[in-house]
Amino acid sequence: MKGFRQFLLRGNAVDLAVAVVIGAAFNSVVQAFVKDLLTPLIAAVGGQPNFSAISLELHHSKFMVGDFANTIFSFIIISAVVYYLVVLPINALIEMSREEPPPDPTTRRCPECASEIPIQARRCAFCTQPIANAG
């Protein structure tokens, strides 16, 4: 039971649970938007009063084309919102936080006088002490 409790209290499991709950609530909002606003707008242009009621009957089988279109619209809207409000900002933050590696050093300090000397130098130009190769 202790291991299960640690698993549940880890940040990833809690974050995932919150994301699922918020995603479900967001899905309800998008479904209502598509069903109550977008579908009637498209139906008004197409001349059909209720877009979700559009169906096709073939050999006594009813194909709910309008309902399927609602689902496609919902998917596209949810995908666009997730991309523009989650993925793009996260990618921008990651790109901003990415630091370039420091350039290779071209100088080093003389162990005797602490002057800056070229990294290839074998003798200090300031105190003339021999310098052991660093590399």
Judge residue 25's burial from the number of C-beta atoms within 10 Å of its C-beta, 0-12 exposed, 13-18 middle, 19 or more buried: exposed
Identify whether 98 is part of a domain: no
Identify whether 130 is part of a domain: yes
Pair 70, 116 in one domain: no
Of 62, 80, 98, the position where a domain reaches its end is 80
Pair 10, 70 in one domain: yes
Pair 67, 25 in one domain: yes
| pLDDT digits (tens), the chain, 135 positions | 788 777 766 767 777 888 888 888 888 888 788 778 877 777 777 666 566 677 788 888 888 888 888 788 878 887 887 788 878 988 888 888 777 778 888 899 998 899 999 988 889 988 988 988 754
Identify whether 51 is part of a domain: yes
Pair 13, 49 in one domain: yes
| Whole-number pLDDT of residue 116 | 92
Identify whether 123 is part of a domain: yes
Identify whether 10 is part of a domain: yes
User: 11-50, pLDDT tens digit by residue?
Assistant: 677 778 888 888 888 888 887 887 788 777 777 776 665 6
Domain that residue 17 falls in: 2-80
Pair 65, 112 in one domain: no
Identify whether 100 is part of a domain: no
Pair 55, 117 in one domain: no
Nearest to 39 by CA among 62, 63, 64, 73: 73
| Whole-number pLDDT of residue 8 | 66
CATH number of residue 15's parent domain:
1.10.1200.120
d(Cα 40, Cα 52) in Å, to the nearest integer? Answer: 9
Pair 112, 74 in one domain: no
Pair 75, 111 in one domain: no
Pair 73, 135 in one domain: no
d(Cα 41, Cα 28) in Å, to the nearest integer? Answer: 19
pTM for the whole thing? 0.49
